[in-house]
Structure 1
């Protein structure tokens, strides 16, 4: 019967065990459910001790044949607390190892890393080759194209200066009858000068 076997085992070993421990140590003689029922029945009958540590129940035999009197019952609290602390430390170490394993599994494999390194190296070589070509180029456009661009720039620059001068003359003329400052006048008309936007003309010689 499971009850007798469990009681005898706890008395013979004289150590605290959980239900899972007893099941394993009895080498499958009874199911875990049967052993749990036996432990609960023995505990309720006062034939064994039961202590709760966190969510786990731990059982130990009550020894009545020790002649030492009041100290006949061994105090299992200390070893159980020590074991509980060790278990928590092992769980912490396990979580650390699992996190490290997860990180390693997420990292690229050696073959994958070599392929990526090869692709990066190929791209670098292409960019370096293109850069060398640009550096060695004496002309990127013909002389006629360059001259045409500079002439167009000069024409637009001249037109810009002409229009700017006309605009400035108009503003100065209107300011003669304006009661406020030039700054207020420009703000009211939402006009921005070159100086306000830090615009600077660049001229090139043809």
Structure 2
């Protein structure tokens, strides 16, 4: 009678319980010793499973349609390893593609590059024109003007240097 009630409770709730939890959840219908003996008997008969966590025993009902073999766990482990390796490969590919994308987006477009080339050519042409005018310039200052300018510069330089004291 107690074994049927406890087994039905474990199957219906479908979660692990300790002996004390089962006793409390059955609202004290059975004493703790009766529940403990019944749980141990159900484990021996193979209707429920017991796991030890430290000093505490936890009991769970075996569901007939949810039985999994140890081979399933091994299969899941091997699938996990394969998928983890595939994930790492895809992450490395993603990083390389993102770096290429960053390089490509930082480079100017064809139209922008052409406009930059045209601007550079215009600056070169204007500077060449300026250089040619300076090379071909016949406006030469006389020696007296040059001496006057240098003397004026020396005078102002001395005032600047010694006048700030």
TM bucket, shorter chain: 0.3 to 0.5
TM-score by length of 2: 0.44
| Greater RCO (Cα-Cα under 8 Å, separation 6 or more) | 2
Specify which structure has the higher proportion of helix. 2
TM-score by length of 1: 0.36
